[in-house]
A and B are shown apart, each in its own frame.
Chain A
Amino acid sequence: MKKTTEGLGADVCIDAVGADANGSVMQNILGRGLKMVGGATPALHWAINSVKKGGIVSIVGVYGPIESLVPIGNVVNKGLTVRANQASVKRLLPRLIKHVQNGTLDPKALITHRIPLEYVSDGYRIFSAKLDGCIKPVLLPPSATS
Chain B
Amino acid sequence: MLAMNYRGPQRVRIDHKPMPEIVHPQDAIVRVTRSCICGSDLHLYNGSVPDTRVGMTFGHEITGVVEQLGPEVQNLKVGDHVLVPFNIACGKCVFCQQGLFGNCHESNPQATAVGGIFGYSHTAGGYDGGQAEYVRVPYADVGPTVIPAGMDPDDAVMLTDVVPTGYQAAGIQPGDTVVVFGAGPWASWRHGAPGSSGQGELSSLISWIIVSNSPATTAPAKPTTSKRSATPCCS
Contact = CB atoms under 8 A, between A and B. Distances in A.
Interface string B183-206: 111111100111000101100000
Interface in A109-144: 109-124, 126-128, 130, 132-144
Contacts of A146: 33, 65, 81, 153
A29 B143 CA distance: 40
Contact of B40 (A62, A118, A137): A62
Interface string A46-71: 11001100001011111011000000
Contact of B37 (A20, A62, A127): A127
Contacts of B153: 146
A33 to B, nearest CB: 16
A145 to B, nearest CB: 8
Contacts of B198: 95, 99
Contact of A92 (B2, B49, B168): B168
B228 A141 contact: no
Most A-side CB within 10 Å, residue of B86, B131, B180, B187: B180
A100 B159 contact: yes
A88 B163 contact: no
B4 A88 contact: no
User: Which of B103, B150, B177 is packed against the most chain A CB atoms within 10 Å?
Assistant: B177
A16 B198 CA distance: 21
Among A5, A100, A135, the one with the most B-chain Cβ atoms within 10 Å of its Cβ is: A135
Contacts of A22: 213
A95 B170 CA distance: 14
A4 interface: yes
B154 interface: yes
A117 B14 contact: yes
Contact of A14 (B36, B103, B180): B180
A138 B100 contact: no
Interface of B: 1-2, 4, 10, 12-14, 31-37, 40-43, 45-46, 48-50, 59, 65, 81, 85-87, 89, 99-103, 113-114, 117, 131-134, 142-143, 145, 148, 150-155, 157-173, 175-189, 192-194, 198, 200-201, 207, 209, 211-216, 219, 222-224, 226-235
Interface of A: 1, 4-5, 10-22, 25-26, 29-30, 42-43, 46-47, 50-51, 56, 58-62, 64-65, 83, 85-93, 95-97, 99-101, 104-124, 126-128, 130, 132-146
